[in-house]
Amino acid sequence: MKIIIVGGVAGGATAAARMRRLSEEAEILVLERGRHVSFANCGLPYYIGGVIARREALFVSTLETIKAKYGLDIRTRSEVTKIDREKKKVQVKDLETGKVYEESYDKLILSTGSSPFVPPVRGVDASNTFTLWTLADTDRIWSFIEKERPPKAVVIGAGFIGVELAENLVERGIDCTLVELTDQIMPPFDPDMSIILEDHMREKGVRLMLGRGLESLAKDGKEVRLSDGTVIFSDMNLLCMGVRPNSELAGEAGLELGPRGHVTVDRGLRTSDPDIYAVGDVIEVDEPLLGGRTAIPLAGPANRQGRFVCANILSDETVEVYRGSIGTSVAKVFDLTAASTGMNEKQLKRAGLVYGQDYFYSLIHPMHHVSYYPGALPMTLKLLFAKDGRVLGAQIVGYEGVDKRIDVIATAIHFRGTVRDLAELELAYAPPYGAAKDPVNFAGFVAENILEGLTDPVTAAQYLENPHNYVLLDIREEAETMASPVKGAAAIPLSQLRQRLDELDRDKRYLVFCAVGLRGYVAERILKQRGYSAYNLLGGLRTLEILSGPEQEENDKEERTRVMDTAHEELTAEPEIIHDLDVCGLSCPGPIVEVGKYIKDLEEGEVVNVRATDPGFSRDVASWCENTGNTLLEISSGGGYYSASIRKGTGKKQSAALVTSGDPKSQDKTIIVFSGSFDKVMAAFIIALGAVAMGDKVHMFFTFWGLSTLRKDLRVPIKKAFMDKMFTGMIPRGTRGMGLSQMNMLGVAPKMMRKVMKDKGITSLEDLVREAASNPAIEMTACQMTMDVMGLKEEELIEGVKIGGVASMLNDADKSQFTLFIS
C-alpha cells in the first residue's frame, strides 16, 4: 500500500511515524512545502524572546534522523498543487527547481495545517510588519530585531500567539502595545477570567487597546491606525489575528468543506472521499459537549489525530474512533498561567443556554497548596456545569499548579464526569503540592451546593447590573473591613452574626459577601435557616473588585507611576535606612498586623520593603497607610508575590507620596469581653490587633466568662475557700479549654476549627493573646469584682494583665472612639 502524507509538521509527522510502526511493508511518502518537518512551532515566541536560546532546540528531530529511524521518503520544498481523485494521483511542484511531476497513491492523508490571517488593509506589506507561523517567519523577526533594535512594537491580535509574543517582546526590552478587536484578550476565557490576565499584562508594562481593530498601516508601517481613529507610532508590527485552514487543495479536489472552510471528516478522520483522510488544523471535528462541530487549531489534537488515523487506513475501516476535541489549552502570561478546557460561558450563551436554568458555575480562589506551607500562591478557578451535574468546562488562572488542575478536569470531561465525580476524586496530597481538599474537589463541593439548593449564588456581573436589588452584607472581620471598606455595605462579622440577627430586616434581600466566598456561604446558610432572604456573592469581594475596578485601576496606575517617580526623585536625595519584612503565607489580617508591629519600631523616615502572598495585600496596605499617616512609596507584584515599600511617617515631601494622610489617628478603642467562647474571643483579639496596626490604642476589659482568656494554662497552687474553688472550676484555664458559641459538638467543633486555622496559616488564638499581652498599645484589664465573685487570684492570670474596676473601664470608654461589647 502506498500512502502519501501532505504536510510534515505535527499531525503529518506523527502519522508517518505511527504508520511505519504499524506496517513495515507500507510505502510512505511525506511531501512538505516548507524546508523543515517536525519542528516545535509552539516554541517560536520563546525563541524570539530569548527564553529558548538555541534555534536548533526547536527541531523535534532532524530530517536525516527521521528518515533513518523510520525508513520514510520525505521531500521538503515539495508543494502538492492538485489532487486527481479519479486517477488517485497528486501533482507535485519542486519549489527549488520548479519541476512538476505526479505521484500515485492508494491512501492520501491531508495535513496541510493553517495559515495566519492577514487582513486586506492598506500597508500590511510593510517591511517592518510580520506574521509568526513558521521557522522562516521566526528567522525574519529575529533578524529584524537584531539588526534594527526596535524600541516600540505593536502586536495586533490577543489570542495565544499574540499574548505570548507580547510577553517575549517585553522580555527583549521592547515597549509593546497589544491591540484586540474584541473587548478582551484570550478568546477561550470568559471576561471575568481574562480581566485577571489583562490587569497582569498592564502591570508588566504592556499597553492594551481593546475593542479596536486594525484600520491600516501608514508611513512604511510606522503608524498603526485603529478603527476608532487612534494612531500608534510603531517600529515593528506583528499580525496575530487568527488562522485560516489551508483547505484550498481539498476544496479544488471537490472534498466536502464546512461553513468556515475546514475539511469535513467522520469519526474515523475520513473525508467525503473514502481514500482520503485529513488531520490537524485543516479539519473540523465533533464537539462532544453540546453535539455540534468545531475546529481546534492546537498541537495536541493534531498529534492525536495523526496517531488515530493510521489504524483506520491500514484496516480500511474505523478501528480508532476520534470522539472530538474539548480544546484543552494552557498558556504562560508573564508570571501567570492561564488554562481552559471544554466550553466557556460565552459559547454556552451563543448556543442558547441560560445561566441559572441550563447551566451554572462555581467560582473559587484557593491557594495552589496549603497556605501554611511556604510559597502558597493563589489561583482563580471557574467551573461550568449543566443542570444534571455534567461538567461542561473550566478556566483557571494562577501562578502554580494550574496545569495540574485543568488536566484533572479535562479528564473528567472526557469521561463525561459530573461535579460529584470532582468532589469524590481522591487526589495526591502533601503540603508542598496541594491540600486535603484540592481546588478541584472544592470546585465540585461548591457546584454540588448550588445544584442541591443549599446556596443561591449571585454573580458579580448580576449584582453590578442590578445593585439596588440587594442589601450588601459584609461578614468579614473588622480588621478586614478597616483595611478595605465597601461603601454602602452593612457590616456584621460572621463571628457575631448569630447574636446580631435582630439588626437585620426579614423583608430585605441580603447579598452576603466575604473575601473569596467561603465564609459568605456559611453566613448565607445561617440566614436562610433563620428565615431571612439571603444570597451569596459568587467569588466574594475579590471577584467583585476585579470586575468593577479595571478602568479606575488603570487611571490610578498611571497616576501612581507619575507620583512615585516624583517621590523617588525627591525622597532619595540622601541615603535611606531600608529594612525587609517577609509576611508570606499569612492570611488577612496577618500581613497588615505584622506591618504595623514592624513599623512601630522604626525611626521616622526609615523604609521597610514588605513581601506578601495574600492577594488582598496591595489594597489593604494602601488603606493602612492612608489611615496611619505612613507613606506608601511603591506597590508591585511578580511571581505570585506582592511587594510594598513603606516609609514611616510622611517623609520630606508629603505631596510626593503615593498614599499619605494627615495626622495619624489617636482615638482609643474599648472592647469589653464578656464571652468565654473561642470564636468570640478570637474576634475580639483580631479587632484589637487590627486597630493597633492602624495606629490606635486599645483597652480590653475582661469580665465574667471572658476572664477565662486571661487564666494561665497550668494550675497555680493557691489556697481558696470551698465556694471559690467551685466557681473557679467552672472557668476554663486559658483559651485551650474554650468551646464555640454555636454548634460546639461536645468540644469537637473547636478542635476542627483549630485544624482549619492551622491548615490555612491563620494565627492561633493563643498566639494572638500572647501578642496582645506584649503589645504596649493594648491594655488588658481583668474586672476586680468578677474576679472576687469567681474566686480568681491575680497569680492565676497571665503576665501583662492589670486589675481594674468598672470606673476604670468607663473612663477608658469615655476616651474611646467606640466601645464594643462582645457577649
Catalogue the active-site residues.
Answer: 42
Query: Quick one: cell of 49?
Result: 524572546
**DSSP assignment string, 388-413:** T-BEEEEEEEESSSHHHHHHHHHHHH
DSSP lists the bridge partners of residue 257 as: 263
Dist. CA 402–CA 406, nearest whole Å: 6
Amino acid found at 234: S
Contact 473, 511 (CB under 8 A): yes
Burial classification of residue 406, based on how many CB atoms lie within 10 Å of its CB (0-12 exposed, 13-18 middle, 19 or more buried): buried
**DSSP assignment string, 336-377:** EEEEEEE--HHHHHHTT--BTTTEEEEEE--BSS-TTSTT--
Query: For the chain, first and last CA: distance in Å?
Result: 87
Dist. CA 317–CA 793, nearest whole Å: 91
**Cβ-count burial 430-469 (b if 16+ within 10 Å, e if not):** eeebbbebbbbbbbbbbbbbbbeeebbbbbbbbbeeeeee
Dist. CA 550–CA 541, nearest whole Å: 14
Residues in CB range of 711: below 8 A, 6 or more apart: 731, 732, 733, 734, 792, 796, 797, 798
Q: What is the distance of C-alpha 569 from the center of its chain? A: 35
Contact 403, 388 (CB under 8 A): no
Q: Which helix (H) or strand (E) holds 47?
A: helix 44-48
Grid cell 508601517 is found at 221
Provide the sign of the torsion angle of the four alpha carbons 6, 11, 13, 16, taken in this order: negative
Coil, strand or helix at 579:
strand
Dist. CA 481–CA 687, nearest whole Å: 10
**DSSP assignment string, 646-694:** EESSS-S-GGG-SB--SSPP--EEEEEE----HHHHHHHHHHHHHHHHT
Contact 364, 380 (CB under 8 A): yes
Dist. CA 735–CA 756, nearest whole Å: 17
Contact 383, 447 (CB under 8 A): yes
**Cβ-count burial 194-228 (b if 16+ within 10 Å, e if not):** bbbbbbbbbbbebebbeebbbbebeeebbebbbee
* DSSP strand pairing (276-278 vs 107-110): parallel
CA atoms within 13 A on the CB side of 413: 30
Coil, strand or helix at 466:
coil
Query: Quick one: cell of 523?
Result: 453566613
